[in-house]
Copies of this chain bind each other. A is one copy, B any other.
Amino acid sequence: MAAAQLTTDRLADKHRSTLDQALDTIRTRAYWSPYPEHPKAYGEGGSLDAAAGLDAYKALLDTRFELDQPGTDDWTGAEVSPYGPALGVTYPHADIDVLLPAMRAGMGAWRDAGPETRALVCLEILARISARTHEFAHAVMHTSGQAFMMAFQAGGPHAQDRGLEAVAYAYAEQTRTPAGRADWSKPQGKREPLELSKEFTPVARGIALMIGCNTFPTWNGYPGLFASLATGNPVLVKPHPRAVLPLALTVRVAREVLAEAGFDPNLVALAAERPGEGIAKTLAVRPEIRIIDYTGSTAFGDWLEANARQAQVYTEKAGVNTVVVDSTDDYKGMLSNLAFSLSLYSGQMCTTPQNLLIPREGITTDQGPKSYDEVVADLAGAVGGLLGDDARANALLGALVNPDVKARLEAAAGLGEVALASREVANPDFPQAVVRTPVIVKLDGSKPDAEAAYLSECFGPVSFAVSVDSTADALELLRRTVREKGAMTVGAYTTSAETERAVEEVCLEESAQLSLNLTGGVYVNQTAAFSDFHGSGGNPAANAALCDGAFVSNRFRVVEVRRQA
């Protein structure tokens, strides 16, 4: 192998202070990010500005995406943008009996490099991805259907933050034992002490499989990818067939950086699949695969947990997110905050609220008592107002990611009384985009036949305004929903200290992340890396949280070699 262009010293000069800041921030949980959120911040220091990013994206279309991976036996790809155009990109299809052994070949050198070098290489990969955020933004937009600004931020800096957070946790976890040799001396009374020299090496588990999702290919993919790579494991990236490009770009950058740093590029590889091939199921039970990260349906997540027994399996699955509406001293703020949460990316976030539990007899507010019907009508009005302007609606909603979401949205109107009908929004730039505003459906929480609706995840721009007998009743339903169906987020609005304590108690007991009385510019469906946990890993919606010690600590093992001193 040629001499590394990227030496450890050079990498440390560039990235050690960023790593230190990340290590500090995961302890303080303060706000911090090294990756700019504003599109105009790019264009200096080698990063692509808006125009260059768009050009770079366009240059990818209708081409073969070369990766120079071992075992390529075909080319495949059929992505069509939710905004209309086919991407026309084809990717290498791998003969896994060739690719998997090739991925293992570089493991020894990657292990011997140690936790710091691995972290620094990961930070270089993230820095190069960051420099191409504009290019990634278009790739995310045209695979997920996110509006450009969201694709830019959530698919760019916020995803990179989550990757860096995972690297920081992985580094912290692997450096809990001393680097180099540690002396051990046990007194023996008057006899000579017993003495040993001990050496602790973090070792990888094996190849990690990261199974990407359609809606957030980078944001949901980077934590597992970087946690596994930073702990010494090769990573095979299996993207969702409708969202390959952002992860193929990621794999390409990772392979470039690994090679420049003197490591085997095959430590990161892509597993694109032919339509209907279902390669995830085959890969998941291969003996070489020892770690799996997955975001997607409960059915396949449960299948992985039950069947991929040779691997550590980290899953984020479906859940039913709930907001308890008890009372507020900022009625307008509450309505506009909720309206935004329901609208963002057409409700296609795993964190979007679905069920709004509102007492049948109404709530108290700073604008006087409001009946259940008034709250629902006012919320419908707030959503209608927010999305009344088509340009703003397009910028917030993005496009429906696939026909299943559209079908669910259309069916939802038949589930109860429609408080706010969904409307079609035309997108002048992309006439084929399917853009829809959310529907709000009223359901009676005391009627058993409504349960089937509000106790299932209805992924997409569908919310249920569920009338309940009382706030106590709402809390019981919240508890049952989290326990049986899981939740990535819970929200609550209350001015009562007692109710606040009660909803906290439910969330502590059922392991759900709670946002209280959000009325400003932070939304229940958004989390910030280094500070907020995404999911809890303690209810059926996910078996892991992004990101904590448990997310990284079992991706490697520590092998001790002890010698007579």
- State A200–B511 Cα separation when bound (angstroms): 12
Number of interface residues of A (CB under 8 A): 68
**Shortest CB distance A292–B (Å):** 16
B514–A561 touching, CB < 8 Å: yes
Q: Which stretch from A118-126, A262-270, A458-466, A518-526 is at the chain B interface?
A: A518-526
Known pairs A27-B176, A29-B200, A517-B564; list 8 more (Cβ under 8 Å): A28-B178, A30-B185, A108-B505, A108-B509, A198-B532, A513-B560, A514-B559, A537-B557
| Stretch with Cβ within 8 A of B (4 or more), from A92-100, A236-244, A396-404, A546-554 | A546-554
User: Is A162 interfacial (CB 8 A cutoff)?
Assistant: no
Q: Which of B30, B516, B538 sits near A557, CB closer than 8 Å?
A: B538
Whether B559 pairs with A27 at a CB distance below 8 angstroms is no
* Least CB distance, A537 to chain B, in whole angstroms: 5
A198 touches B29 (CB 8 A): yes
Chain A, range 377-414, C-beta contacts under 8 Å to B: none
- The answer on a CB contact under 8 Å between B553 and A549 is yes
A561 touches B528 (CB 8 A): no
Do A30 and B182 touch across chains, with their CB atoms under 8 A apart? yes
A86: CB under 8 A from chain B? no
A-B complex: 10 closest residue pairs judged by Cβ atoms = A538-B557, A550-B553, A549-B553, A550-B554, A31-B186, A516-B563, A29-B182, A514-B561, A536-B557, A511-B557
B545 and A194 contacting across the interface, CB-CB below 8 Å: no
Please, which residues of chain B bring their CB within 8 A of the CB of A562? 514-516, 522, 532
Q: Are A559 and B185 in contact (CB under 8 A)?
A: no
| A309 to B307 CA separation, bound complex (whole angstroms) | 11
A511 touches B203 (CB 8 A): yes
Contact partner of A27 among B108, B178, B515, B554, CB < 8 A? B178
A305 smallest CB distance to B (angstroms) = 7
Report chain B residues within 8 Å CB of A508.
111, 201, 203, 559
* Complex CA distance for A234 and B126, rounded to whole angstroms: 42
